[in-house]
Structure 1
Amino acid sequence: MADDGWEGVMGGSQFGAPGSFTPPPAAGDAGSNFISGLLSGQVDDQAAQQVGEGGRHLKSLAENGQFAVNEEGFQAYIKACDFFIDGFSDMITNVYKLANPAQMGGSNYAKAVADFNVQVANGDPESLIPNLEKMRDGVEQAREAMVIARKNYRETEDAHSMTFAKLNEGLRE
C-alpha cells in the first residue's frame, strides 16, 4: 500500500486504507474515508454529502464504542478538522460576496456572467454555500467524534492496564 502521509499518524487506532466512501463504511475504514472526502478538494454535492455522512458516521461509531483513536491520531484529525473550521468563516464570507450580482457592465454577456456567479454561489441546493455548510457540519461532527474516540481509546488502555496488573499480581502469588 502506498504511503499517503497518514500511515505513521494512524498507528494504534481503527483505520483502514483510504478509498471511496460507501455509507455505512466498516468501522476500520471510517476515519480514512472521512479524511479522503475532506481532502479531495471538491465542493460539489457528492463531496459535501460524503463529508457530512462521514462525520455523522464517525460520531455514531464513537458514541457506540466502535471507534477509538490514540493521542497521535487524535491530534492529526483535530488539526485537519480545525484547519477547515478555522478557515470556514473567511471562505463562506467570500462566497457570499459572489451571491450578490457583480457590477460587470450593462451588456447581456456581463449580466449573464454576474447571474451565473450568483447561481454557482447560492442558486440551488447543489451550489457552493449549501455544500460548504454541509461540509462544515460534517467536519464539526467528526471533530466531536474524535474527542469521544480518544476517550474510548483511553478507557480501553486503562482496562487493559488493569487486566495486566491483575495478571501480574496472580503471577507473583
Structure 2
Amino acid sequence: MTSASEFGGGPPASADTGQGSVPDLLVNPLDTEGVHRLNESAQKFKALAEGGGFAVNEAGFQAYNKVCDDFIHGYDKEARNFFHLLTRAKMGSSDYANQVADFNVKVANGDKQSMIPNLKLLLDSITQVQQALQIARNNYNAADSEHAQTFSGIGKAD
C-alpha cells in the first residue's frame, strides 16, 4: 500500500493517512469492474484531499501531476481516433464476416462495458486524481504557511 508520505508530504500524525485510498492507476480498459473500482478510488482520494487527509509538496505534486497530464493529453490525442473503432470493418459479405464486424463495433462502444465508455471513465478517474493532487498541494502550502507564521514569532522579544 502507498502511504500519504509517499506523495511528498504527510498529514498530521492524528489524521487518517488514507492508506488503501490511493487509486491503482494500472487498469485494463476492458475490465469494466476494474475501471469502476478505479473511479470509486479516485472519488475517495479526492474526498480525502478535500477533507485535509493528506498533503503533497511541490516536487511530489509535479511528479504525479505529470503522470496525470500525460494520460489526459494522450487520451485527447487518441480520442480523435475512436471513430475508427465505431466504423464497421469491411470483412466480406458472409454472415460470419458480418457477425465479426458487428461484434467489433459492439466491443468498442456497444454498451456500458465497452472500451470507449471505460476509457471515458478512466479519463474521469485520472482527472479526479489530478484534482485531488492540486487540493493536496494547496493543503501542503497552507500548512507550510501556517507553520512559518507560528515559527516566525519564536525568539522575538515581546
Aligned to 2:86: 99
Listed one character per residue, the Cα deviations across residues 91-134 of structure 1 (whole Å, up to 9, x for unaligned) are: 33333321221111112222122111111101111111111111
Q: Are the equivalent residues in 2 in contact too, given 1:58–1:67 (CA < 8 A)?
A: no
| Residues 44-95 of structure 1: per-residue CA shift (max 9 Å, x gap) | 2122212322222222122222221111110111111111110112333333
Structure 2 match to 1:108: 95
2:17 and 2:114 mapped to 1: Cα distance?
A: 30
Larger CA deviation: 63-72 vs 79-88? 63-72
Q: How does 1:11-50 map to 2 (within 5 A)?
A: 11-13=8-10, 27-30=18-21, 33-34=22-23, 36=24, 38=25, 40-43=26-29, 44-50=31-37
- For 1:11, the aligned partner's letter is G
Per-residue deviation, residues 147-171 of structure 1 (Å, max 9, x unmatched) = 11101001111112222223333xx
Preserved CA contact (<8 Å) 1:88 1:136: yes
Contact 2:27–2:35, Cα closer than 8 Å, also in 1:
no
TM-score w.r.t. length of structure 1: 0.75
* Contiguous gaps of at least 5 residues in structure 2: none
- Tell me whether 1:55 sits opposite 2:52 in the alignment: no
| Match among 125, 134, 140 for residue 121 of structure 2 | 134
Which runs of 5 or more structure 1 residues have no equivalent in the other structure? 15-24
Select the residue among 10, 22, 29 that pairs with 2:7.
Answer: 10
Matched positions, count: 151
Task: Please say if residues 17 and 53 of structure 2, whose CA atoms lie closer than 8 Å, have aligned partners that are also in contact.
Answer: no
C-alpha separation between the residues in 1 aligned to 2:120 and 2:64?
A: 19
Q: Offset at 1:9?
A: 6.5
How much is the aligned-residue C-alpha RMSD, in angstroms?
Answer: 2.5
What letter is aligned with 1:42? N
Contact 2:55 2:138 in 1 (8 A): yes
Cα distance in 2 between the residues matched to 1:118 and 1:65 = 44
The worse-fitting range, judged by mean Cα deviation, of 53-62 and 146-155 is 53-62
Structure 2 length-normalised TM: 0.82
| 2:54 is the counterpart of 1:67 | yes
Tell me the residue number matched to 2:77: 90
Aligned identity (percent) is 41
